[in-house]
């Protein structure tokens, strides 16, 4: 009986460790967004008015699909949205896109 308990305990410690490790290797979409995107796109996906002055093409993300966001990150858009293919891994692009989706439909720019 005692032996069974020890095995169960050892297994649960191992499983907890494995879960923590998986979480640690998952890219942090929120942190990546703050680092790479917030300056132009705003903390919640609505660009600050002064950025819209600099980049008139900037709009709120609206209801873009995650795949469309990843496509923009791969290839860029227009002349001011640069591709992030050399700065973000595919998993990081997915994580940033998923984070942007948490904003929901944003308010129009400048509001």
3-state per-residue secondary structure call for 26-84: CCCHHHHHHHHCHHHHCCCCCCCHHHHHHCCCCCCCCCCCHHHHHHHHHHCECCCECCC
The contact pattern for ligand HEC, residues 52-91, with x = CB under 6 A and - = no contact, is ---x-xxx-xx-x----x--xx---xx-xx--x-------
What are φ and ψ of residue 55, in 5° steps?
-120, 85
Least Å from the CB of residue 58 to ligand HEC: 5
62 vs 90 by CB, closer to ligand HEC: 62
User: How far, in Å, CA of 1 to CA of 98, rounded?
Assistant: 46
CB of 111 to ligand HEC, least distance (A): 16
Q: Which is nearer to ligand HEC, 16 or 39 (CB)?
A: 39
| Cβ 32 vs Cβ 19: under 8 Å | no
Sign of CA dihedral 83, 41, 28, 70: negative
Nearer to ligand HEC, 6 or 53 (CB): 53
Q: Which residue is closest to ligand HEC by CB?
A: 78
Q: Does 29 bind ligand HEC (CB under 6 A)?
A: no
Residues lying near ligand HEC in the complex (CB under 6 A) are found at 36-37, 39-41, 55, 57-59, 61-62, 64, 69, 72-73, 77-78, 80-81, 84, 96
């Amino acid at each position: 009986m005692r032996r069974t308990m020890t095995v169960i305990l050892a297994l649960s410690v191992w499983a907890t460790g494995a879960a923590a490790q998986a979480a640690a290797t998952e890219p942090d979409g929120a942190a990546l967004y703050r680092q790479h995107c917030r300056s132009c796109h705003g903390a919640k996906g609505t660009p600050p008015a002064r950025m819209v002055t600099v980049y008139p093409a900037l709009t709120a993300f609206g209801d873009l699909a995650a795949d469309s966001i990843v496509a923009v990150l791969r290839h860029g858009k227009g002349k001011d949205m640069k591709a992030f293919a050399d700065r973000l891994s595919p998993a990081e692009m997915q994580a940033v896109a998923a984070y942007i989706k948490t904003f929901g439909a944003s308010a129009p720019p400048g509001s």
